[in-house]
Amino acid sequence: MRRRSIVGNWKMNGGLATLAELDGIAAAAGAAPDVDVAVAVPATLIAPAHARIPTLAIGAEDVHEADHGAHTGCLSAAMVKEAGASFTIVGHSERRGDQHETSHDAFMKAAAAHRHGLGVILCVGELQAERDAGRAERVVQAQIEKSLPDDAHADWLTLAYEPRWAIGTGRTPTLDDIATMHAIARAKLRQMVGDTALAMRILYGGSVTADNAARIMAVDNVDGALVGGASLTAAKFAPIIAAAHRGA
């Protein structure tokens, strides 16, 4: 059985005062021992977040593919690990869109993170125009093929399917659409890495809230959620954790 996983992604939000929300999030995680709870925070908050709640998995929202060098403003996997991160997100739709990152960039970053002992959440997902053109399945399959490291394993890599048109919009695909895309992702993973794909978790990301979390996580091949705005407060994030616990 794959353990449920609920991961918050704070994006470019929060400051030191916001870390008080982690107290309630950690309490919710403690009440759901069969769910793996983690929060990716801005780089400036990794060290203080880890210091505040050492038992909560704290992650980075991105890393650079290089270990060091002339990359002004970037952070290596070794740097975020030293700060207290235990995992990183790579290939997020906002990195692909706003920073024009490619699947090869995600591939290199995932490999760098694993090289330094970080867990990886690898994101894939289509644009609205790609879905409207009937290309959603092919786009996601190609992203997995080009982004997945050669030695990917369930011990350290989780896939997250996030339809890019649903991020922060309040819109979500139908449950049938989610089931179809997660099944396609599982099949592609199995084609690439064999039976270890059966143990890999696939999270759904895209306007997950307390109102829809239980329904989404009841879908086949949905092993949890990558949560954006609703992870910024314990009041909104804790019910999502609880929904995963009830459905585990």
- 198 vs 43, 120, 142, 221, CA distance in Å? 32, 17, 19, 9
Number of other CB atoms surrounding residue 167 within 10 Å:
22
Tokens 């609920």 -> residue: 6
User: Cβ distance 167 to 228 under 8 Å?
Assistant: yes
Catalytic residues: 92, 162
**Type of residue numbered 65:** E
The dihedral of CA 137, 138, 139, 140: what is its sign? positive
**Type of residue numbered 15:** G
Nearest to 61 by CA among 53, 50, 151, 44: 44
The dihedral of CA 176, 183, 11, 49: what is its sign? positive
How far, rounded to the nearest angstrom, does the alpha carbon of residue 132 sit from its chain's CA centroid?
25
Instruction: Tell me the residue length of the chain.
Output: 248
Residues ≥6 apart with Cβ < 8 Å to 156: 114, 118, 119, 120
